[in-house]
Structure 1
């Protein structure tokens, strides 16, 4: 692995443009969302014709009110200035539970009630109670399964990726991608070690981490991140920052990853040489870096490719998939990203799709550029993954064969 250019730049702060109407409305989301997440399930499950005995209705309503009040308080204590991990665990867990209850109270509540009505099953009270038990049963199963999915060591997803400009000497290069480990309030040091053990079984030439290592400072999450130092690669281990690094002293994470033997690709590149052929491996800071105000932190693709031979194929690490527009404009061959978590808890992927062009998997952009978006190795916040399994990704790079060779 040969190191090349290092580009540093002074980052400017956010522009002082007045907020738009959407931005002003978004300020009210933290106030409105908890009310909807708890009030809707309470209404659907308890107060839409069930006629539960008073103690049952009162107890259920009290639990909903407790969740409505307790969730924001726990989130503030857990993720605010005090950074209390136990409070964060409570708040995050309640957020996941309320999201699943809200989703299935609305979907299953409406559809099942309609089906029971059309089938003329029982009277109104019987149908309402059947809906309640069905929603609670489905939610219990999904939450138990989702928790197990979030805490398990991710499955390895393997795929071959053909790059038309890749030289024959690089054919078969094994690239392992981990991302969005999100070490946080739940101590996952053992999980981290098992992930790294799995990575080491894949005999990678290059191991990449595309950001969002943790929620919290490097000093605070050091024990969970330490196993990353055991990861093996025949050529290099490279890392770029994600948006969550900029919530918690990004430079500290860059420094720690350097200590652990990973090469931070902060708007720079290295060369991977094999069999007489060369691959440019470049990386950029997250797109939110400049707004952080940290000196020298910004997404700067020109700097990352400065000095690289334009005839060589380029593998780019960029945390967010939406950076692919810039990558395509520069003729990058393959971009590796994370950030989306595959939506993490269905149907949150619809909201992710508003901000990102791709949710997961391999996609083509422009004439040349391929993008691989990982669903992430860990989880953020709520310790659940519902219909969005985590992954460790093994990409085997392939040189073209036949008419495509040399194109």
Structure 2
């Protein structure tokens, strides 16, 4: 696993690694160039590379691409900007997801397929071009339909056994359920939320964790969708930490609502879980974006989270973003639970996520002691599609090397 934590120059100044510097430069110009690329590339591949469509087809296709290019950014701005118009957000997000899939397969399927058909001697130039167009449109339609079903269904439960060398025998088999990135938002998912909570309750978990990004919007606005979280049961504890999206929409309101729903917000603090004569430290930190939000007292502080805890005890840490793991490893944390990445959500966005995070999904090791579990997320953000990145509810079963 490549270490993407900050490095330091000889004079001690923090130096951002080259992949992240490149990412930040790209992200600076992305809002301006991305919509043009997402619509212009498919437009050229599907309509203007040898097909010679009848004029009405060309004019209709051109009008649709231009409409998409104009409507998508306007709808997203109205939906996610100051106005927070849910219908506009749904339209803009759907166009974003659709254009991303169409762009991807115009490039990855369109060009190689045309070369393959030419080498195989299939059809003339125009016939080959039209085969490519219909193939790209067909694959895009299938992936969007499948991706929509994948995004809207109740996630499958993924069970993972995690061996922690410092875990006492009394805690052998401790069951930790993890949900994250529920992203309640413009599409009303109150019924979905209730079914997710029913699934979690069926896991008979000792600890249930939510590692942030509950919703897009304020707690007052998304209360109905979040309300089923109050039905979640755990034999020992229900704990929660903030994600970056809370800091886009009155984070303290979400902290207060989760407290009201019976979840214990672990804001740079910990609790002790005892069973069979052994103890586990369950700690949590605010998201790494908390300090820049300007909210008093909000920041990610692992030292504060572990203050007063016996350093010889095993530590389970909740931190929304996987990239916090460098600090967790330095603090001697045994297992960090995170979300944030969505597993990429719509392939091949995975590769961009990897530029910013040390892990995309699953269990990984960092340093000599620390393990990181990164969930692909329970819900979805923005485009209501998941392509090659299934959502999950995770059941982590902690294993002790000292168990009989």
Superposed pair shares fold, TM > 0.5: yes
> Cα offset for 1:391?
0.1
Alignment of 1:213-362 (within 5 A): 213-362=214-363
- Alpha-carbon deviation of 1:336? 0.2
* Alpha-carbon offset, residue 26 of structure 1: 3.6
Partner residue in 2 for 1:41: 42
Given that residues 23 and 355 in structure 2 are in contact (C-alpha distance below 8 angstroms), is that contact kept between their aligned partners in structure 1? no
* Deviation sequence 1:200-248 (CA, Å, 0-9, x none): 0000000000000000000000000000000000001000000000000
Alignment of 1:67-106 (within 5 A): 67-106=68-107
SS for the counterpart of 1:52 is coil
1:204 matches 2:205: yes
Query: Cα offset for 1:159?
Result: 1.3
Cα separation, partners in 2 of 1:105 and 1:21, compared to 1, 3 Å:
closer
How far apart are the structure 2 equivalents of 1:96 and 1:289? 28
Q: Distance in 2 between matches of 1:394 and 1:148?
A: 23
1:21-36 aligned within 5 A: 26-36=27-37
- Alpha-carbon distance in structure 2 between the residues aligned to 1:154 and 1:213: 16
Distance 1:203 1:307, change over 3 A: same
Aligned length: 384
Matched, 1:369 2:370: yes
Question: 1:322 and 1:160 mapped to 2: Cα distance?
Answer: 22
| Residue 54 (structure 1) aligns with | 55
The within-5 A match list for 1:109-128 is: 109-128=110-129
Q: Per the alignment, in what secondary structure is the counterpart of residue 208 of structure 1?
A: strand
Deviations 1:266-296 (A, max 9, x none): 0000011111100000000000000000000
Q: Distance in 1 between matches of 2:47 and 2:78?
A: 30
Name the CA shift for 1:23/1:314 in 2 (closer, same or farther; >3 Å): closer
The structural deviation recorded for 1:29 is 1.6
| Residue 173 of structure 2 is aligned to residue 166 of structure 1 | no
Match of 1:143 in 2: 144
**Distance (Å, rounded) in 2 between the aligned partners of 1:59 and 1:139:** 19
CA deviation vs aligned residue, 1:87-119 (integer Å, no higher than 9, x gap): 000000000000000000000011101100110
1:111-150: CA deviation from partner (whole Å, max 9, x where unpaired): 1011001101111101100000000000000000000000
Q: Supply the distance in 2 between the matched residues of 1:389 and 1:112 (Cα, whole angstroms).
A: 27
- Give the C-alpha shift of residue 31 in structure 1: 1.4
2:34 is paired with a residue whose SS is helix
C-alpha displacement of 1:27: 3.4
3-state SS, counterpart of residue 27 of structure 1: helix
Shift of 1:366: 0.3
Aligned equivalent of 1:4: none
Cα 1:163–1:108 shift into 2, 3 Å: same
* CA offsets 1:344-371 (integer angstroms, 9 cap, x no match): 0000000000000000000011000010
Q: Which moved more, 1:192-201 or 1:114-123?
A: 114-123
2:220 counterpart SS class: coil
Distance 1:109 1:319 in 2: 38
Describe the SS at the equivalent of 1:219: helix
- With normalisation by structure 1, the TM-score equals 0.93
Superposition misfits of 4+ residues, deviation over 2 angstroms: 20-28
| Partner-residue secondary structure (3-state), 2:221 | coil
